[in-house]
């Protein structure tokens, strides 16, 4: 299964090309997968594979013992490592494996300060990903802490094994030919994306029994995307494995109403749960969380752009991940079990000719810009999403939590 998973990530996830560098960021818990990815990368002709390991315990100790000001400055070696490989068009694989509570009780402001500083210092690295220049793929691999959170009733060994089985299931690695399964998955995305892009949608209205009543305006030249995407060199890849979402970036000025979360949000070692967010003319004007209010505040107050939406994503309630009836406490997986929105940065690929535009041009076209991008889940079994088209007619996108077309 690990062999299939590694091959899928290399050949479909980042679609690594002969002579290309591969940069891997991973926890020390993921060393087995890292070694297989390295092997598979060289088999397809990688020029070099560079691995940047991290250790959750060391990270926690750093946050515990360093004051906030320390996190305002990013060491030069981190900047040079990320930015240099970005300039060399290295593909990126990021392996998610952190314990959802690894940073519990750590001051959220320290974490947010560091995250913002890294984003600013490594701007060329992030621009190459955000603007569709370099290919990247985020995947999951169990750690004991993460597995114990998902399966608290099991022993360490049993929990890790169960989490691997769940990951293999939702990534289609339990099928005989995962590569072909993902080719079929791609075709199913393309049908719905084509329909949505032909509809000339003016706005979307969300409603459900939680209290969500939200209207989101669309950019006139919007484009939906789903599954994978093309980088500017014309190569197709899947930035997320797994993925079940069809998404776009709205006109960030045209969002009005209130939306309620439907699942916990795991953010940098903290949990935010049972929250709602109110928008007026695009901007977040109010928010409340029963769990993690300070964390939600730190997300929204990252910068000006984090007060607006960057993404809307459609995921059927009966998605393969939802059918497992698990909360992964990891956004990569949980966002693919539920329709979601994202605070912060929008996507250049979600507007006509957007991959040829600068950040400033995208902003002028209604694509939000921010140092952050945080998904939160809003899908429910009774979620309704109705589109109003430019000619005044309506089109039902979601009914009773699932696609209506």
What are the pLDDT digits (tens) for 214-264?
999 999 999 999 989 899 999 999 999 999 999 999 999 999 999 999 999
Mean of pLDDT values over 47-66: 97
**Residue 210 and residue 90 in one domain:** no
Encoded tokens for 39: 């092997």
Specify if 185 maps to a domain. Answer: no
74 and 210 assigned to the same domain: no
For residue 131, is pLDDT > 90? no
Structural domain tally of the chain? Answer: 2
Asked if 232 and 141 sit in the same domain, the reply is no
Any residues with CB less than 8 A from the CB of 29 and at least 6 apart, and which? Answer: 56, 97, 141, 142, 143, 144
pLDDT tens profile 8-41:
999 999 999 999 999 999 999 999 999 999 999 9
Q: Cα(366)–Cα(377) distance, rounded to whole angstroms? A: 23
Is 396 a member of any domain?
Answer: yes
How does the average pLDDT of the chain come out, rounded? 96
Residues in Cβ contact with 43 at an 8 Å cutoff, skipping those fewer than 6 apart:
none
CATH number at residue 65: 3.40.1830.10
285 and 396 together in one domain: yes
**Whether the predicted pLDDT of 42 surpasses 80:** yes
The answer to whether residues 165 and 205 belong to one domain is: no
For the segment 62-82, the average pLDDT, to the nearest whole number, is: 96
Q: In the numeric block, which tokens belong to residue 54?
A: 């991290």
Q: Same domain for 110 and 153? A: yes
Distance (Å, rounded) from C-alpha 283 to C-alpha 304?
A: 9
CA distance 75 to 193: 42
Encoded tokens for 187: 């075709």
- Mean pLDDT, residues 147-167 taken together: 98
For residue 73, tell me if it sits in a domain: yes
Q: Is the dihedral of CA 350, 224, 329, 31 positive or negative?
A: negative
Is 265 found in the same domain as 118? no
pLDDT single digits (tens) 175-193: 999 999 999 999 989 999 9
Q: What burial letters (b/e) apply to 1-31, b meaning 16+ CB within 10 Å?
A: eeebbbbbbbbbbbbbeeebbbbbbbbebbe
Q: Which of 37-51, 147-161, 354-368 has the lowest mean pLDDT?
A: 354-368
Does residue 268 share a domain with residue 130? Answer: no
Kindly tell me if the per-residue pLDDT of 269 is higher than 80: no
- What are 311-336's pLDDT values in tens digits? 999 999 999 898 898 999 998 999 89
Same domain flag for 159 and 242: no
Could you list the beta-strand ranges (E) of 225-282.
225-226, 229-230, 236-237, 246-248, 255-260, 265-267, 270-280
Both ends of the chain: CA-CA distance in Å?
A: 34
Q: Percentage of residues in the chain with pLDDT exceeding 70?
A: 100
Residues 6+ apart with CB under 8 A from 51: 24, 26, 34, 38
138, 222: one domain: no
- Report, in angstroms and rounded to the nearest whole number, the Rg of the chain calculated over CA atoms: 20
36-59 burial, b at 16+ Cβ within 10 Å, e below that, comes to bbbebbeeeebeebebeeeebeeb
Is residue 193, in this structure, part of any structural domain at all?
A: no
103 lies in some domain = yes
Determine the pLDDT at residue 10. Answer: 98
Residue 214: strand, helix, or coil: strand
Determine contact, residues 281/256, Cβ cutoff 8 Å. yes
Residue 175 domain-assigned (yes or no): no
Whether 94 and 230 share a structural domain: no
In terms of domains, do 244 and 162 share one? no
Quote the CA–CA distance of 50 and 73 in Å, as a whole number. 24
pLDDT-based confidence at residue 405 (cuts at 50, 70, 90): very high
What residue numbers bound the domain in which 78 lies? Answer: 2-170
Report the SS3 class of residue 254. coil
**pLDDT for the residue numbered 104:** 86
In a domain, 188, yes or no: no
Residues 379-391 have a mean pLDDT of: 97
Closest CA to 303 of 242, 386, 246, 369: 369
Question: Does residue 65 register a pLDDT over 90?
Answer: yes
Answer yes or no: is 345 within a domain: yes
């Amino acid at each position: 299964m690990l062999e299939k998973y590694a091959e899928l990530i290399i050949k479909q996830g980042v679609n690594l090309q002969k002579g290309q560098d591969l940069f891997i960021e991973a926890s020390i818990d993921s060393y087995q997968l890292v070694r297989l990815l390295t092997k598979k990368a060289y088999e397809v002709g990688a020029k070099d594979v560079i691995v940047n390991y991290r250790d959750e315990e060391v990270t926690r100790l750093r946050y515990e013992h360093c004051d906030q000001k320390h996190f305002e400055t990013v060491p030069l070696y981190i900047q040079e490592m990320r930015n240099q490989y970005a300039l060399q068009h290295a593909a990126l694989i990021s392996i998610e494996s952190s314990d959802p509570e690894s940073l519990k009780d750590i001051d959220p402001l320290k974490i947010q300060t560091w995250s913002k500083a890294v984003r600013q210092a490594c701007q060329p690295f992030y621009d190459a990903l955000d603007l569709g220049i370099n290919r990247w793929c985020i995947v999951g691999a169990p750690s004991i802490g993460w597995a114990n959170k998902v399966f608290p009733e099991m022993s360490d060994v049993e929990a890790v094994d169960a989490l691997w089985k769940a990951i293999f299931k939702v990534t289609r690695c339990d099928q005989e030919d995962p590569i072909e399964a993902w080719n079929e998955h791609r075709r199913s995305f393309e049908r719905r994306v084509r329909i949505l892009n032909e509809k000339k949608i003016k706005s979307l209205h969300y409603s459900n029994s939680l209290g969500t009543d939200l209207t989101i305006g669309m950019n006139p030249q919007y484009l939906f995307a789903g599954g994978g995407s093309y980088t500017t060199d014309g190569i197709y890849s899947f930035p997320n494995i797994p993925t079940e979402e069809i998404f776009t970036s709205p006109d960030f000025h045209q969002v009005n109403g209130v939306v309620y979360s439907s699942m916990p949000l795991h953010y940098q070692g903290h949990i935010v749960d049972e929250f709602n967010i109110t928008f007026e003319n695009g901007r977040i004007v109010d928010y409340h969380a029963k769990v993690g209010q300070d964390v939600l505040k730190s997300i929204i107050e990252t910068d000006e752009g984090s007060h607006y939406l960057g993404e809307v994503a459609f995921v059927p309630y009966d998605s393969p991940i939802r059918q497992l009836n698990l909360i992964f406490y990891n956004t990569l997986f949980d966002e693919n079990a539920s329709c979601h929105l994202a605070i912060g940065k929008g996507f250049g690929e979600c507007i006509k000719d957007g991959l040829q535009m600068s950040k400033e041009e995208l902003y002028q076209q209604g694509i939000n810009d921010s140092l952050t991008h945080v998904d939160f889940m809003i899908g429910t079994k009774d979620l309704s999403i109705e589109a109003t088209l430019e000619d005044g007619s309506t089109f039902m996108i979601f009914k009773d939590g699932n696609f209506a077309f």
